[in-house]
Amino acid sequence: MKQTLHITGGKPLLGTVHNSGAKNAATKMIIASLLTEEPVILHNVPRLADVDITIEICEQIGSTVEFTDNSLRIETPTIKSTRVEALSRKNRLPVLALPPLLHRAGEAHVPVTGGDAIGPRPVNFHIAALRDMGVRIEETDFGYEAEADTLRGAAISLPYPSVMATENIILAGVLATGRTTISNAAMEPEIVDMIKLLQRMGAIIEFRADRTIVIDGVERLHGAEYTIMPDRNEAASLGLLGIVTGGDVLVEGARQDDLITFLNTVRRIGADYTIEATGIRFRRGKGVLRGAEIETDTHPGFMTDWQQPLAVLLTQAEGLSVIHETVFQDRFGYTETLRQMGANIGVFSKCLGELPCRYRGRMHPHSAIINGPTPLHAADIVIPDIRAGMAQVLGALVAKGTSKLTGVEHLMRGYEDLTGKLSAVGAEFTVD
């Protein structure tokens, strides 16, 4: 449902907000439940549009789903359809249904569309890996048509530690014949969380040095019960509510283990946090905010989803700041809105950092320089995607005057009850 937010900024935000379950873990675990005919029970599942679309995928395949509060019970005793039809909204998640359908039915037909407008995110790594494991797969106007008699283990080396490709190979490997080795695998906490669920379901998966995951295929998986980790993307965004507005916000349920790199950056900039029994408290601190050099990277590096909301804080910091985005090629579209609000931001195609970058020399706008501090003023804002949208909300909360934000439905994909959480810390806004 399309909504418009009217946010009046300039007010310090104070209070406690709850850190919801991780979207990027919950959606993958719901897909993983398709690997067994027995019930899987998940707790701390966020009520989000991306979770709804994942449930829609599973129900098309044959799942029965009960969703009460933040607990979800899913059971797929039989595969009623191997074809995921057009969904109510575009999304990249259907590609992850390939391995469960192939394991249980020998064929799969899934569309591949959608995702946030942050640059191409091709599935060629997924397809190459599945072919190595014995899958016959073709790209059609619909999406991907795949079949396999039996999936077999394989030694797979990813050209880049792609999160979804790693997850797809894991889902394929757990019931494959023999051993699957993933070199240069992604190691994000959400992947570890999915692996912990699969281990409870009977899978054999271990980590080795140098980004290597080893999976020994088993004959079958069984049901399990699991509590999903808190969302580290949301935790950082909620913490910044307190810092950028000069307030004091306790993010209840946030975990230090998931946020170490982000917390170090907060401290380098001159803001403050404290680890408490129930979560992490964020505040501006007494000192001057300082500019910083940020380079996004795969885990355990600085998360790409943290850079957009952090950029708002850097507009209020003294001196020059540099952000070098090495994960996605086109993730600075939101800076145009911040410039309209008064920020001094330049975006460049050169690599303004030290990390090896696959976009070097390819003319993608993947580096930004921010000169601050600059006062921000209200603007009319169109939200393009989840993380950019949160940056724009933070900008509106800092700005003088009342900003009008449309495209709020993107935020609902990634932040559970965002308006309720804004209310909890005293933000001044209306919704229509």
Q: Which residues are catalytic?
A: 116
Q: Which three-class secondary structure state does DSSP give residue 96?
A: helix
DSSP state of 154: -
Measured in whole angstroms, the distance separating CA 52 from the mean position of its chain's CA atoms is: 15
Structure tokens at 388: 């950019």
Name the region of 361 (left: φ>0; alpha: ψ -120 to 50; beta: rest): left
Name the region of 313 (left: φ>0; alpha: ψ -120 to 50; beta: rest): alpha
- CB 265: neighbour CB atoms within 10 A? 20
3-state SS string for 313-373: HHCCCEEEEEEECCCCCCCCCCHHHHHHCCCEEEEECCCCCCCCCCCCCCCCCCEEEEEEC
Separation CA 26–CA 44 (nearest Å): 9
Name every residue whose Cβ is closer than 8 Å to that of residue 102 and which is 6 or more positions away in sequence.
108, 130, 135, 146, 147, 148, 151, 172
Q: For 424, phi and psi rounded to 5 degrees?
A: -60, -25
Measured in whole angstroms, the distance separating CA 418 from the mean position of its chain's CA atoms is: 16
- CB 288: neighbour CB atoms within 10 A? 11
Ordered DSSP codes for 166-187:
HHHHHHHHTTSBSEEEEET---
Q: Which three-class secondary structure state does DSSP give residue 23?
A: helix
- Is residue 13 within 8 Å of residue 36, measured between CB atoms? no
- Is residue 317 within 8 Å of residue 291, measured between CB atoms? yes
Name every residue whose Cβ is closer than 8 Å to that of residue 391 and which is 6 or more positions away in sequence.
308, 309, 311, 312, 334, 338
- Please, where are the H alpha helices in 23-155? 23-32, 49-61, 98-105, 124-132
Q: Which three-class secondary structure state does DSSP give residue 1?
A: coil
Separation CA 388–CA 394 (nearest Å): 10
Q: Which residue's entry shows tokens 């088993």?
A: 218
